[in-house]
Structure 1
Amino acid sequence: MTRLVLRLLALIVAGWATSAAAADYDYGRAPYTVNQPLNAYSWAGPYLGGNLGYAWGSVDNNPTKPSGFAGGVQAGYNFQNGPFVFGIEGDIQASAADDTFAPWKFSNPWFGTVRGRAGYAFNNVLFYATGGLAFGELRAETFGMTESHTNAGWTVGAGAEMGFAPNWSAKIEYLYVDLSNSNFVVTGGASNGYAFGLIRAGINYHF
């Protein structure tokens, strides 16, 4: 009888030890995003990246049509609830867009945006719309004189982004940007502004 009790105690202790080890293993697993399936790609959190694209547009009340390559950096933060993704993104761009129609030359040396984003994610693929504030410089040159104005405006667009590796995603995006008009002395007091389309590709690192 004593031997039988000892054997039962030994089995209980062995089973308890096995259960404890299994529990330790479960608790040691990496946490997952709330409201997300265990195998879903998470878009939530901050990110930082770079982009390169091409801009083309026209200057109000002037025949010039500046166009050229543009590139820069962007940073943002996403919130996610199931497949719905919301966030804010800002970027700053250097631009080579310019055009000359004698005797005027107009160029857009730089611009930036601060935008909201809203989209729908199919796991690691995100489709989104975006819009918000735009700002940038419009520079006019004629007969050796140069005049620059920094104006605010608005932007709207859409894009698609794909997560292709842990913490990394790539995107393609179209924006329409309208920088407000201001009066240029070198164009005889005309009200000039720059509106343009921009298509660009970028890459982001998600923290």
Structure 2
Amino acid sequence: MSRIVTSLAAFTALTAAAAAADLPRRAPPPVFTPVPVFTWTGAYFGINAGYITTTKDTVFTAGVLPANNGVINGNRPAALPLPQDGFTGGGQIGYNYQLTPGAGVVVGLEADAAYTDLNRSRGFIGTNRGISVFRQSTDYLGTVRGRLGYAFDRTLVYATGGFAYGDVSYRGLYESAAGVPTFYGARTRTETGWTAGGGIEYALPTDSFLNFFKSSAVTVKAEGLYYDLGRRSVVLAGLPGVGVGSYVSRFQNEGVLGRVGLNYKFGSY
């Protein structure tokens, strides 16, 4: 009897083992890898290009001595517009900090410098056939600005404003009807002022074909800025033997620019 019980127990154990071997194996749970949330936090550098034009560019002139009455009698221009426009292109560096990843407020600081194709010469022939020629040019324009915006994931809308500076040259020349120079004045200096504007920026995927520097993100932007570099008075002094006294011409430096840019961001994802 004991042999029968022992045989039944062994048979039952073997049957259970065989059945267990046929059961499907339980796979290990998948490893969850969270997708990183994009943030605008980080340093960046880039390039920009666009179009720039003046909005206030009239030269106002007045005589200093009573004998300098060319403006009064119409032989010299009291107000002569010098509109300027052209290409602008340069580079920028900056840093952004996003308060909350994904969507949230972004604050930042940016500095840029750009070549500007702003230059214009214009002549005027007065009532007594006197020839007046004025010229104004801006070789470069730079800014140091704060930025405040709101990010919708990879899209950033921002306002910006701060300090502006530029290298500006002024020149004025008066000639007689016969073409003899009588009054002349010129000045070149770095002008300073302010700028304000806004823009929109979008972050491309990290594996974008534009990511030559293997940065954490490549961003493209479009922005517009208004700048004011103030006004500058230039003395047109009488030349020896032909001019007595002097005139004073006041130039203006205000304009707008629109540009697009490409940035390479480093730091957080």
The interval holding the TM-score normalised by the smaller chain is 0.7 to 0.9
Using the TM superposition, name which of 128-137 and 96-105 deviates more. Answer: 96-105
Structure scoring higher RCO (CA < 8 A, sep ≥ 6) equals: 2
2:187 is paired with a residue of what secondary structure?
strand
Q: Greater Rg, structure 1 or structure 2?
A: 2
TM-fit CA distance, 1:180: 1.5
Corresponding position of 1:204 = 263
Distance 1:149 1:186 in 2: 17
TM-fit CA distance, 1:129: 0.1
Distance 1:91 1:189 in 2: 33
> In structure 2, which of residues 44, 47, 50 is the aligned counterpart of residue 50 of structure 1?
47
- 2:168 is matched by which residue type in structure 1? L
Residues 73 and 93 in structure 1, CA contact (< 8 A), matched pair in contact too: yes
TM-fit CA distance, 1:123: 0.5
Residues 185 and 234 in structure 2, CA contact (< 8 A), matched pair in contact too: no
Change (3 A) 1:55 1:171: same
Distance 1:146 1:85 in 2: 45
Larger proportion of strand:
1
Corresponding position of 2:9 = none
Q: 1:11-90 alignment to 2 at 5 Å?
A: 38-57=35-54, 58-61=56-59, 62-82=80-100, 83-90=104-111
**Structure 2: stretches of 5+ with no match in the other structure:** 1-27, 60-79, 124-132, 174-183, 207-216, 238-246
Q: 1:37-186 alignment to 2 at 5 Å?
A: 38-57=35-54, 58-61=56-59, 62-82=80-100, 83-102=104-123, 103-143=133-173, 146-166=186-206, 167-186=217-236
Distance 2:149 2:35 in 1: 21
Distance 1:76 1:41 in 2: 18
**Structure 1: stretches of 5+ with no match in the other structure:** 1-17, 30-36
TM-fit CA distance, 1:142: 3.9
Count of residue correspondences:
177
Cα RMSD over matched residues? 2.3
TM-score (ref. length: structure 2): 0.61
Q: Percent identity of the aligned residues?
A: 34
Residues 139 and 148 in structure 1, CA contact (< 8 A), matched pair in contact too: yes
